[in-house]
A and B are shown apart, each in its own frame.
Chain A
Amino acid sequence: MATYYDLLGVDPAATTEEIQRAYRRLARRHHPDVAPDGDRATMAEINSAWAVLGDPARRRLYDAGLREPAPPPPPFAPGTDDAWQPLEDDDGVDPESYSDEPYVEVERRPSDMLVMTPVLLALTAVGGFFLSILSGSAGLRTFSILLVPVSGMGFVMAPLFVMLRSKRRSRE
């Protein structure tokens, strides 16, 4: 039987803060108000797991129960009379704030680099052009002039690439 720890993808020895981070990450992926393909049934399970593991007393009781022999399966299946609904006290976090999570920052870095590439190319082209004038190098001047349309293409392609990748991730 999958435990709430399995559901949130955390170690049973995880701290409450680690569990909360995992909960928010999954909520951002599955919350119907945040994710385009949000799944209410999955969100109900995630909420149930957080309601127990996020509360020290409930977690102690849950851990004690896990240490005992497994009983028959539960009758309270999500999707019946236990269908998803926002927690009464929720977790005090607005879904919009999920974007503050560290993993978002990690994902953002490659995109930032991609956006910066055409800027760097343009600066290289301008710098190279002035250097070619000072040095009288025809080769450097040609290279700098060729770099201008390349950086221009980069300015057009980079946003399109980022947009396509974002759409692909939201589908996942």
Chain B
Amino acid sequence: MGETEAMRFLSPEWLDHLATVTASASPALDLSVHQRVTGGPDGDVEYTLRLAGGTVRVEPGPGPADVELTADYETAAAISQGRLSPASAFAAGRLRIGGSVGALVAHHEAFAGMARLLDGVAGATTY
């Protein structure tokens, strides 16, 4: 599958593409972030981003993580497209955050770098 081919947000193909893109990242932190998106076209979707030892892995499905993010499909899509910031979604009660929020805030620079990496993913995604 080419990188310019459109994939549906949160579909298995999209998660595969996310894994491919993030594999090139080399974050200098160890942290796992589990995301649960509710009410999508295919129901609820869960996956975990595991940043460890300078690598990133994407694991579909539920699993233990340092940080838990929960949002409805519309909110997750808006964040993915850059129409809504995670902080703004959190303040509005549209994004719920559990676990070690301190780690998330402390490493916001590293996550900003990840977000830039994901811009390319959003460009090849249909919502």
CB contacts between A and B, total, < 8 Å: 61
Q: A68 — which chain B residues lie within 8 A by C-beta?
A: 85, 87-88, 91
Q: Interface on chain B toward A: helix, strand, loop, or mixed SS?
A: helix
Task: Determine which of A58, A64, A74 lies in contact with B92 in the assembled complex, contact meaning CB atoms within 8 Å.
Answer: A74
Q: How many residues of A contact B (CB 8 A)?
A: 23
Q: How many residues of B contact A (CB 8 A)?
A: 22
Q: Does B105 interact with chain A (Cβ within 8 Å)? A: yes
Quick one: given A55-B101, A71-B84, A75-B72, are A62 and B96 in contact (CB under 8 Å)? no
- Residues of B43-81 at the interface with A, using a CB-CB cut-off of 8 Å, are 72, 74-75, 78
Q: Are the CB atoms of A76 and B93 closer together than 8 Å?
A: yes
Q: Are the CB atoms of B105 and A65 closer together than 8 Å?
A: no
12 pairs across A/B with beta carbons < 8 Å? A3-B91, A57-B102, A57-B106, A62-B87, A63-B91, A64-B87, A68-B87, A69-B88, A71-B92, A74-B94, A76-B93, A76-B96
Q: Does A138 interact with chain B (Cβ within 8 Å)? A: no
**20 additional contacts (CB under 8 A) given A60-B105, A65-B89, A72-B94:** A56-B102, A58-B101, A61-B87, A61-B90, A61-B97, A61-B104, A62-B90, A64-B91, A65-B85, A65-B88, A65-B90, A65-B91, A68-B87, A69-B88, A70-B88, A71-B84, A71-B88, A74-B92, A75-B75, A76-B94
- Enumerate chain B interface residues (CB-CB to A < 8 A): 72, 74-75, 78, 84-94, 96-97, 101-102, 104-106
Given the complex of chains A and B, what is the CA–CA distance between A61 and B96 in angstroms?
12
Q: Which residue of B lies closest to A71 (CB)?
A: B92
Q: Closest approach, in angstroms, between the C-beta of A71 and any C-beta of chain B?
A: 5
Q: Are the CB atoms of B72 and A65 closer together than 8 Å?
A: no
Q: Closest approach, in angstroms, between the C-beta of A15 and any C-beta of chain B?
A: 18
Q: B90 — which chain A residues lie within 8 A by C-beta?
A: 61-62, 65
- Enumerate chain A interface residues (CB-CB to B < 8 A): 1, 3, 48, 55-58, 60-66, 68-76
Closest 3 CB pairs of A and B: A65-B91, A74-B93, A65-B87
Given the complex of chains A and B, what is the CA–CA distance between A72 and B77 in angstroms?
14
Q: Closest approach, in angstroms, between the C-beta of A48 and any C-beta of chain B?
A: 8
